[in-house]
């Protein structure tokens, strides 16, 4: 058994059964091994940003890592932007990156690059296998590293000769680190904040945004009068009817400052002291008031369920009923095809147990509030601000959850970065309904340009924000990649298309002119 | 004048008048400054790999760097793969990468990443501006660094506050390093090799593949009987009728070893001791015979024209006439639409002074020999093995040379990585004719898979190499990005489409089923 096969068998033994791949020559031994070993589903992406974004979406929904298979430094480079998002989401991913044979690297062949250097900025763990006999053990360590709480990007670099030489067979799984519990003292301190009688924010993020911990957080809020809130960008929120509804901190700095101005104290669980997305001249970086007493009770890697349980007990809040959202959908919209009408249509029609993937940037803001009372669903967001994750994220989520409808809310500018994901959706026949908000602009940048003082931008600047001339035709692009698609120019047409897509299997794309 | 404007003015003063851009919020001051300063052409790319690949194509043809404008670590990450190719081509590029304000970076906002870490693997020069008053000088240094022979990737990171704060105005251009001349001793040694009477290879690369130095190399070969050859992958070769024809080292390791087996000595100018693209079990990394006496006379950064002139003089070869290619086009093909027929059609019809961009991988191999006697043209290749440069490279070359037809020979699998370049071609109305070789496979990988011993690959492995199910429709994808396109299923249709595209302005895409 060669090193590649020992690695594939080790990954499977470690619980990894899905590999998003864009392989090249250096990875051919790994690919060949896939034929000899059963138990690994391999999903091809036609660009590495699709591969890494899909691995993120998969792990967010499957709660276990996928592997990626990438081709040397440049292939990993193409994956970096979405690995950045995964890193910010606390998503576990195991990257397998082929490299030149150890004997070949010193000759500076065309594809030679500093693969470890490319990996390091977005990886919590980086290792290069030195020989075929250590590959299996390295693979087991990579999985354990990826599973380090809250979830990490681990990158294992596999020189071609470590894949093709004879190994000692697969390695056993390595137990990952456990998430640490917070101290009793910290719990008591948080309880004191929450009992202070002053306006207090209970900010929860990360895995605390799942249904069960959110119920605990809601009990605490009910008991103490604290305001429960989530960060602006979150990997996954379990929400909808029968679940705890939670507001998020606003993205625009001015609105966020206003929103958080009332709070004298803040207890933070599973996220960091909230920070503005960007800095602006004369505006603070931290969005809680400077006078607010902030306690980060639990980092994302702490045991968040345990933290909330103990805090609940400390406060005697177990007897409180969590505030659960009643089921309520908006009426089907009529009239103009506005952003609110699109939001209402989605909220009115989205199937139960759907997965909503939001990279709608400026266009989809109304969908989050409109879907608050829709049937229970998951809400996945862009976590690292690196646009171009929506279509891959939806792809990976659909691979993880083959019995659930995925609805991708996709801005057009962001969608263009990784549109190749549509092909993977078609090949894998994934149940993804994509709504493209075709405003034909980097609309958020237009706002930002005016924010920086260019109140009357000229043509050169405006050309950099404008996606028209020519207009993108998403229907043709989707069809070109084998995904059925149509444009909705009226609300009625949008409703028909949504109904049609939700009623049958496979991917579908709807372009809306907003 | 703020830092951003001081930088734009400095870049222009340093000779940079073209910026390929995919900006975000952190770059809005730079974008706003473009409205206040004339002399910088700004070209929008809808993905950063388009931006960096276009900057490479531009500089290869303009013989001066373009700037890129990129958005923080992830934006730079998306640009890396084609920066890798640029680095291997010796192409000068000045990356301007926005970052969070210096005061904001410590808060770990969503987009925060180690931008310098992302830059370093593909950049010869990396610097982060510390304040608005140093931005202009840093910009001038970046241009000088990019112009260091043979040409480098220089990355200047621009925290947002260094862009928005008040500067001291623009800086003067900084003189770049000059290319070093090789020693007289080295010239004499090379002459001795060439005079040895043994079979000798004269391998020339880099800037020595332009018409004038190639004529000198040809005189030397005529005088000494040496075999003149070029590396497998080259940034730019000036060739065609009236120029020196030059063979390249074969890509497949077996063929390369056979091709180079006869040589007892090798004199190398402007490139390195040739190395196999990949390592293979039991095959050598270096492709010249181990017994061959190899002299690297001049590195790519040396003064190659001077080297060839002095070597010519040392050998008394000035009086030799260079061996110039006679003009001769193949007849227009008839019959089946084979790869040879496509090659013949291109060679028969390509306009004078065209720029041929070759990322055809397995499909376009016949076009190089078929076009040997076509009217004078440039030949641009993938230099770093990182696929996905063809469409961006063609885009940048067309921006640099608005009066020349660019013909992109594009494999389908590689084309998918950066297909967004088509939109930029449409917006800028660039004279690019793209031929997509739609073999619907990573065909080179199929060969490689069999090379690694998987003689009977199974379905899992084959699925990773196969781009069908669904088939990509390049006509629809191109039209979706505003580029006129058609499929050629017969030779006659291909000829019609080529003639039509060559006869009028603007981009056109032709899909051929090969």
Burial class of residue B505 (count of CB atoms within 10 Å of its CB; 0-12, 13-18, 19+): exposed
Judged by CB atoms closer than 8 Å, whether chains meet at B34 and A423 is answered as no
Please count the CA atoms within 13 angstroms of the CA of B101 that sit on its side-chain side.
Answer: 18
Judged by CB atoms closer than 8 Å, whether chains meet at B476 and A479 is answered as yes
Closest of B478, B443, B483 to residue B464, by C-alpha: B443
Judged by CB atoms closer than 8 Å, whether chains meet at A463 and B44 is answered as yes
Say if residue A429's pLDDT is above 80. Answer: yes
Judged by CB atoms closer than 8 Å, whether chains meet at B278 and A26 is answered as yes
Q: State pLDDT tens for residues A450-467.
A: 877 766 788 888 999 999
- Percent of chain A topping pLDDT 90: 93
Q: Which residue of A has its CA nearest to B388?
A: A47
- Residue B126 CA to residue B117 CA, distance in Å, equals 9
Say if residue B23's pLDDT is above 90. Answer: yes
Contact A113, B386 (CB under 8 A): no
Tell me the β-bridge partners of A511: A436, A487
Judged by CB atoms closer than 8 Å, whether chains meet at B108 and A386 is answered as no
Minimal CA separation from A340 to chain B, in Å: 26
Helices in A25-146 by DSSP H: which ranges? Answer: 28-36, 48-62, 72-89, 115-119, 132-146
What torsion do the CA atoms of B90, B96, B102, B105 make, to the nearest 10 degrees?
A: -80
Closest of B339, B351, B330 to residue B494, by C-alpha: B339
Partner A contacted by B467 (CB < 8 A): yes
Tokens of A393: 């994220």
Say if residue B466's pLDDT is above 80. Answer: yes
Tell me the β-bridge partners of B126: B155
Question: How does the average pLDDT of chain B come out, rounded?
Answer: 96
Residue B446 is predicted with a pLDDT of: 84
Give the DSSP letter string of A313-353.
HHHT-TTSPP-BPPP--PPPP-SS--HHHHHHHHHHHPPTT
Judged by CB atoms closer than 8 Å, whether chains meet at B480 and A474 is answered as yes
Minimal CA separation from B228 to chain A, in Å: 21
Give the DSSP letter string of B208-266.
GGSHHHHHHHHHHHHHH-PEEEE-SS-S-EEESTTSB--EE--SSHHHHHHHHTT-SEE
Beta pairing, strands A293-298 & B125-128: unpaired
Write down the residue that tokens 């928005």 correspond to.
B164
Q: State pLDDT tens for residues A127-153.
A: 999 999 999 999 999 999 999 999 999
Q: State pLDDT tens for residues B177-216.
A: 999 999 999 999 999 999 999 999 999 999 999 999 999 9
Residue A222 is predicted with a pLDDT of: 98
- Which of B4, B5, B18, B32 is the best mutation test for A, with the most CBs of A within 10 A? B32
Instruction: Give me the phi and psi of B37, to 5 degrees please.
Output: -125, 130
Say if residue A256's pLDDT is above 80. Answer: yes
Assign B362 a pLDDT band (cuts: 50, 70, 90). Answer: confident
Q: How far is CA B219 from CA A6, B215, B247, B268, B304, in A?
A: 56, 6, 16, 16, 15
Mean pLDDT for the stretch of residues B451-473: 86
Chain centre distance of CA A434: 16
pTM over the 0.95 mark: yes
Instruction: Count CB neighbours of A262 within 10 A.
Output: 13
Write down the residue that tokens 């960007």 correspond to.
A278
Element spanning B67, H or E: strand B66-71
Residues 480-499 in B contacting A (C-alpha not used; CB under 8 Å): 480-482
List CB contacts (< 8 A) between A277 and chain B: 25, 109-111
- Residue A42 CA to residue A274 CA, distance in Å, equals 38
Burial class of residue B441 (count of CB atoms within 10 Å of its CB; 0-12, 13-18, 19+): middle
List CB contacts (< 8 A) between B385 and chain A: 72, 74, 109-111
- Residue B350 CA to residue B499 CA, distance in Å, equals 9
Q: State pLDDT tens for residues B95-119.
A: 999 999 999 999 999 999 999 999 9
List CB contacts (< 8 A) between B454 and chain A: 28, 31-32, 35
Tell me the β-bridge partners of B151: none
Closest of A153, A175, A188, A135 to residue A79, by C-alpha: A153
Partner A contacted by B474 (CB < 8 A): yes
Say if residue B142's pLDDT is above 90. Answer: yes
Buried residues in B148-179 as b, exposed as e (16+ CB within 10 A): bbbbbbbbbbbbbbbbbbebeebbebbebeeb
Judged by CB atoms closer than 8 Å, whether chains meet at B47 and A416 is answered as yes
Tokens of A253: 């700095």
Judged by CB atoms closer than 8 Å, whether chains meet at A472 and B457 is answered as no
Partner A contacted by B348 (CB < 8 A): no
- Which of A452, A457, A476, A479 is the best mutation test for B, with the most CBs of B within 10 A? A452
- Residue B7 CA to residue B24 CA, distance in Å, equals 17
Minimal CA separation from B422 to chain A, in Å: 11
Q: State pLDDT tens for residues B65-100.
A: 999 999 999 999 999 999 999 999 999 999 999 999
Closest of A215, A223, A189, A188 to residue A317, by C-alpha: A223
Partner B contacted by A68 (CB < 8 A): no
List CB contacts (< 8 A) between A276 and chain B: 104, 109
Judged by CB atoms closer than 8 Å, whether chains meet at B464 and A164 is answered as no
Instruction: Give me the phi and psi of A128, to 5 degrees please.
Output: -110, 125
Tokens of B493: 């249709």
Residue B189 is predicted with a pLDDT of: 98
Closest of B49, B185, B28, B240 to residue A460, by C-alpha: B28
Residue A55 is predicted with a pLDDT of: 99
Write down the residue that tokens 């076509």 correspond to.
B374
The ipTM of this complex is 0.97
Question: How does the average pLDDT of chain A come out, rounded?
Answer: 96
- Percent of chain A topping pLDDT 70: 100
List CB contacts (< 8 A) between A475 and chain B: 480
Judged by CB atoms closer than 8 Å, whether chains meet at A278 and B482 is answered as no
Say if residue B473's pLDDT is above 90. Answer: yes
């Amino acid at each position: 058994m060669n090193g590649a096969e020992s690695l594939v068998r080790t990954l499977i033994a470690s619980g990894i059964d899905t590999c998003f791949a864009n392989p090249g020559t250096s990875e051919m031994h790994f690919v060949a091994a896939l034929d000899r070993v059963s138990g690994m589903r391999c999903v091809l992406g036609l660009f590495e940003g699709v591969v890494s974004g899909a691995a993120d979406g998969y792990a967010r929904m499957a709660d276990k890592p996928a592997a990626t298979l990438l081709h040397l430094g440049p292939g990993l480079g193409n994956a970096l932007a979405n690995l950045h998002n995964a890193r910010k989401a606390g998503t576990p991913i195991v990257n397998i990156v082929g490299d030149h044979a150890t004997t070949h690297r010193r000759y500076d062949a065309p594809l030679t690059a500093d693969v470890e250097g490319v990996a390091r900025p977005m990886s919590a763990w980086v290792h290069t296998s030195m020989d075929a006999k250590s590959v299996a053990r390295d693979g087991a360590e990579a999985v354990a590293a990826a599973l380090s709480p809250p979830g990490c990007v681990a990158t294992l670099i596999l020189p071609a000769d470590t894949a093709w030489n004879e190994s000692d067979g697969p390695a056993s799984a390595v137990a990952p680190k456990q998430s640490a519990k917070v101290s009793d003292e910290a719990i008591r301190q948080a309880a004191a904040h929450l009992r202070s009688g002053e306006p207090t924010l209970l900010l929860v993020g990360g895995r605390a945004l799942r249904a069960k911990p959110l119920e605990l957080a809601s009990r605490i809020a009910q008991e103490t009068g604290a305001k429960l809130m989530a960060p602006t960008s979150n990997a996954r929120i379990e929400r909808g009817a029968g679940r705890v509804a939670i507001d998020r901190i606003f993205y625009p700095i001015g609105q966020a400052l206003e929103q958080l101005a009332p709070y004298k104290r803040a207890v933070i669980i599973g996220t960091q002291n909230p920070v503005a997305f960007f800095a602006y001249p004369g505006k603070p970086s931290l969005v809680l008031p400077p006078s607010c007493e902030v306690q980060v009770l639990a980092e994302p890697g702490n045991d968040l369920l345990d933290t909330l349980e103990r805090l609940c007990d400390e406060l005697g809040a177990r007897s409180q009923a969590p505030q659960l959202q009643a089921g309520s959908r908006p009426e089907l919209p009529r009239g103009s095809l506005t952003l609110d009408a699109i939001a209402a249509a989605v909220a009115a029609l989205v199937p139960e147990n759907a997965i909503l993937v939001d990279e709608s940037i400026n266009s989809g803001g109304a969908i989050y509030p409109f879907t608050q009372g829709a049937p229970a669903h998951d809400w996945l967001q862009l976590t690292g601000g690196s646009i171009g994750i929506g279509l891959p994220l939806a792809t990976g989520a659909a691979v993880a959850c083959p019995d659930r409808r995925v609805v991708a809310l996709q801005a057009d500018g962001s969608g263009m970065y990784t549109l190749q994901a549509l092909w993977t959706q078609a090949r894998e026949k994934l149940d993804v309904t994509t709504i493209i908000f075709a405003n034909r602009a980097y609309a958020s940048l237009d706002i930002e340009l005016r924010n920086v003082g260019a109140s009357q931008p000229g043509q050169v600047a405006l050309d950099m924000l404008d996606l028209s001339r020519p207009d993108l035709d998403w229907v043709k692009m989707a069809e070109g990649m084998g995904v059925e698609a149509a444009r909705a120019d009226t609300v009625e047409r949008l409703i028909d298309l949504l109904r049609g897509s939700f009623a049958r299997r496979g991917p579908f794309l709807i372009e809306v002119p907003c």
